[in-house]
Chain A
């Protein structure tokens, strides 16, 4: 028994050291974002000589951080709200209807899950341009709808099957319309899956790079946080202190949200993967 305890303590120690080494690169980025150029060049590993926000003030102004943040929020909110609306409605009806047409449409909706975005990105861009959706944050949000539907429909569809039909049938008999039934009875019951879908899609859209690069990179006013960090680091290739600052500023929102909602996020990601 005693041997087991010592073994466990050793394992714990080993895992803690591993985790610290694992996170060390992020720590290095953080400390170097407070340094001057000379300090970074002299020694990356050393702590900054004094804590100043000079780098942050410079980068904040240079990349117009509030605008970028707003862009990210618009794209993510428009995208996720649309995905949830389209997918929950469709998945509910498809799951409740047993016809051949319904089965075919279900397949049509979920099959694209297997398609890598890169294999169709060129014509997606062409189509988006033709439809006037490119070069706009709102437009990009709308573009995400179609890309988010397959996984969301798949996750919702599985969950709706577990909701007893009697619930909607009795509401119908009471004279509620189909939309009323969905809104007042089904949608509240879908809350746990909706949370899962929101978590997965927010993480995806907030951090996405290639689609924004193709769609909204042409103007400073429509860029996302990640895009701006990418351009900025490209320009300030050797000014590492500014590059580090831009990176910290780009990832900080995600890290704060993760610390606040850690449990939900991990659970949501697992649920999404296990069902997806």
Chain B
């Protein structure tokens, strides 16, 4: 049965099925990654075919780069707040939309719509709202909040970026939590009601623990998305005012493609790569352990 001929035929088949996909990921990830390692040790303007080897100079320069430090702090602050706020908001809306409301299907769709839009366009939409829309709204309502310089002042611009990102993506997290809530068994809930547990108590002792798998997924997705933030910043604030909303991705983009420091940009990108790897692995390990415990 398992003669040599049969075996080599199945080896052939295995290769034909698998090799194309492997070649795909090799060219998309592994080869560029190895190239990045090499180019990060060079000074390279992106055009010159012979970049100058400069050893670890890029990484040394990076340690003293205030822009990179500020961009890292921005990204960190943004990611933490984004992850917390988008998840809290999504859970609250999901809880409401899990109730037997007459318009729940339409409501779910309404909150989901921005998620299908391109992030760059979303940034532009809100730039228009903050700049032109708020002016008109101020004239109509007289509310001071519409008069604030939402894109012109450091803290407000930060909040704007956060707000717009949450607006675009909250619908995605809502549907994840709704799916999670539907798997909470009704009899467990009824038992809690019979035992006299109040609304808040029921949420923290029954619903939330049963939602744990959804929380893991949503936090993971929120983390991977927020750490890469780029598009919204490009079209909403362009990093401003005064570079206060420059994220790591945006900083890399600027140094590489606008300042033509390809070698240096590659070094920064590698730092981003390792930072993301470490954060992801730690986070996955942490949630795995928590889920097993509960």
Contacts and interface: CB of A to CB of B under 8 A. Distances in A.
A266 B135 contact: no
B121 A149 contact: no
A146 interface: yes
A78 B96 CA distance: 41
A226 B119 CA distance: 9
Given A240-B128, A269-B172, A123 B39 contact: yes
Contacts, number: 246
A34 interface: no
Given A44-B132, A127-B35, A94 B18 contact: yes
Given A45-B136, A146-B29, A247-B124, A109 B22 contact: yes
Contacts of A8: 99-101
B257 to A, nearest CB: 8
Contact of A108 (B22, B27, B33, B103): B22
Contacts of A197: none
Interface core residue of B128, B235, B256, B262 (most chain A CB under 10 Å) = B128
B255 to A, nearest CB: 10
Given A105-B22, A116-B273, A229-B121, A266 B36 contact: no
B84 interface: no
Interface stretch (A16-24, A51-59, A188-196): A16-24
A170 interface: no
Interface of B: 13-14, 16-18, 20-22, 24-33, 35-36, 39, 46, 93, 96-97, 99-103, 106-121, 124-126, 128-129, 132-133, 135-137, 139-140, 167, 172, 175-176, 179, 217, 221, 224, 227-228, 230-231, 235, 248-249, 252-253, 256-257, 262, 265-266, 269-270, 272-273, 276-277, 280
Contacts of B133: 25, 28, 44-45
B127 to A, nearest CB: 9
Contacts of B228: 116-118
A207 B117 CA distance: 7
A97 B107 CA distance: 45
A22 B115 CA distance: 12
A86 B28 contact: no
Contact of B33 (A86, A120, A178, A208): A120
A44 B256 CA distance: 38
B17 A250 contact: no
